Amino acid sequence: MSKQNAHVIRYGGGETLAGIPTRNDIISECGNGLTAILQQSLSDKQPIYFMPNDVNDATEYVKNVSTYILRIYGTLINGQKARVDITGIKPFFDIAVSDNEPLSAFKSRLVKIISGAEKIDKSKFGINIVYAYPIRGYHTEKKMYIRITTWNHYDRTQILKEVRKYGIETASDDITTMNRIYEDAILHPSDISAKNMCEVANYCVIDALRCQELMVKHNVINDYREVSSIAYVSLSDSHYFAGGMKVCNLLGVEAWSSNMLYSMIASENTESGKYPGAYVITAIKGLENKRPVTGLDFASLYPSLIMTYNLSPDKIILSREEAINVSDSGKFFTRASDEIRK
C-alpha cells in the first residue's frame, strides 16, 4: 500500500467520529461481492474505511534520511488485511524552561549541548517554543517549554540522554526516568532519593485510580460481572483469562446438565490464538464468505469460536464406548470437574 501523509483527527470521547462511518455501517451496506465493491472503490480512488486493530513504529530511510513511520493495521470489509504507513510525524520531547535563566541564554546553552553531542545528526533536529499545562500536578496556567523535534526515535533518545546529563528538566514521562530514580534509591539512598520515590509512588497511585475511574466510566466491571455469571467463572478469571476458558466452562456446564461428554481440542494441539473481545480480527475464510466475522464482542465471541472450531451437536458423544475409543486416539473430554485423558 502506498505511503501517504495524514492529518490529525482529535477524538473527543464520543461514540463515533462525526462524518466517519462506523464498521457496522460499512458492513450493513455491503452484502455479497465485498471484494468487487472494494476493488471498485480503489479504482475510483474512493476513501477506504477500516477499523484499526494494531499499530507499531518503524524507521526507514526516505530519500537517504532515517525517518519515523507510524504503521496502522486493520481488516477491510472483505476480510483482507490492510496496512497504512503514515509519514511526516516527527518524534519530540519538551524541556522545561528554567525560571532562573533568561530564555535566550537558556536556548543558546541548549543548542550548544545538543550540537556538541556525538552520534547525533546536527541538521535533523528543530527547536520551538510551546505553551502547555505541566503534566505533574494541577495548574491553571500554561507554562513555557522548548520543544525538540527529531526525524526518528533514535535521535530523540540520544538528544534526550545528552540533555539530561546536564541536569536539565524535561517534561517527558519516559520510563527511563523512573528506572533512574529506582537505581539511585537503591545504590545511593539519601533524602533526595527518598523524596523522589515518594513522588513516584504518588503518581503510581494516581495512575491506578485513573484506570479504575476509566473502567467504571465505561461500565467494564459490570460487563465482566455479566460474563462471569454466564460462563461460571470468578470475576478475577473473567478479567485475566482468555475467552477459550469461558467457552469451555459454558459448554461444560451445559453438557453436565444433559449428562453428556463433549469433544475438545487434542491435547497436543493447544490453542494459542487470541480473541480480544472488542477488537477487530482478520476474518477466517470459508466459514462465512458472504459476511465474514470481522469483529468480536461479548455477543459474538462464543458463536465465533463455535464456528471456528466447528463445535456442533455432531461432536457430542452419547455412548461410553465411543468416548473411550476417541479418548484412546489422543483427545480429551470434560464432564464438569471430571476429566478423562489418555
**pLDDT band for position 32 (50/70/90)?**
low
Instruction: Convert 284-295 to b/e letters by CB count within 10 Å (16 or more is b).
Output: eeeeeeeebbbb
For residue 229, what are the contacts with CB-CB under 8 A and spacing of at least 6? Answer: none
pLDDT in tens, 62-82: 777 778 888 888 777 666 678
**pLDDT band for position 287 (50/70/90)?**
very low
> How many angstroms separate the first and last alpha carbons of the chain?
50
Higher-confidence position of 288 and 82: 82
pLDDT score recorded for residue 291: 47
Identity of residue 212: Q
pLDDT in tens, 152-199: 777 888 888 888 888 887 776 555 566 777 777 788 888 888 887 887
Structural domains of the chain in order of their starting residue, each with its CATH number = 4-86 (no CATH), 92-210 (3.30.70), 223-340 (no CATH)
Higher-confidence position of 249 and 334: 249
pLDDT score recorded for residue 160: 82
Longest dimension (CA), the chain: 88
| pLDDT, mean of residues 29-40 | 67
CA–CA separation, 149 and 169 (whole Å): 16
Asked if 280 contacts 295 with a C-beta cutoff of 8 angstroms, the reply is yes
Grid coordinates representing 185? 534509591
Higher-confidence position of 155 and 311: 155
pLDDT score recorded for residue 92: 83
Compute the half-sphere exposure of residue 102: CA atoms within 13 Å on the CB side of its CA.
Answer: 3
pLDDT score recorded for residue 33: 66
Among candidate residues 118, 122, 108, the one with its CA nearest the CA of residue 165? 118
For residue 286, what are the contacts with CB-CB under 8 A and spacing of at least 6? Answer: none
Higher-confidence position of 143 and 26: 143
SS3 at position 248:
helix
Percentage above 70 pLDDT, the chain: 60
CA dist 283 → 16, 47, 143, 309 (Å): 23, 21, 48, 14
Residue 202 has pLDDT above 50, yes or no: yes
CA–CA separation, 342 and 329 (whole Å): 8
Grid coordinates representing 159? 538528544
Pairing of strands 81-87, 4-5: parallel
Lowest model confidence (mean pLDDT) among 229-233, 263-267, 275-279, 320-324 = 275-279
Lowest model confidence (mean pLDDT) among 5-9, 43-47, 58-62 = 5-9
Mean pLDDT (the chain) is 69
pTM recorded for the entire structure: 0.39
**pLDDT band for position 335 (50/70/90)?**
very low
The sign of the dihedral angle between the CA atoms of 266, 270, 274, 276 is: positive
**pLDDT band for position 298 (50/70/90)?**
very low
Residue 46 has pLDDT above 80, yes or no: yes
For residue 331, what are the contacts with CB-CB under 8 A and spacing of at least 6? Answer: 263, 264, 265, 266, 267, 342
SS3 at position 340:
strand
pLDDT score recorded for residue 136: 62
Residue 325 has pLDDT above 70, yes or no: yes
Bridge partners (DSSP) of residue 125 are: 150
pLDDT in tens, 121-156: 666 778 888 888 776 666 678 888 888 888 777 788
The DSSP call for residue 127 is: E
CA–CA separation, 263 and 322 (whole Å): 11
pLDDT score recorded for residue 301: 46
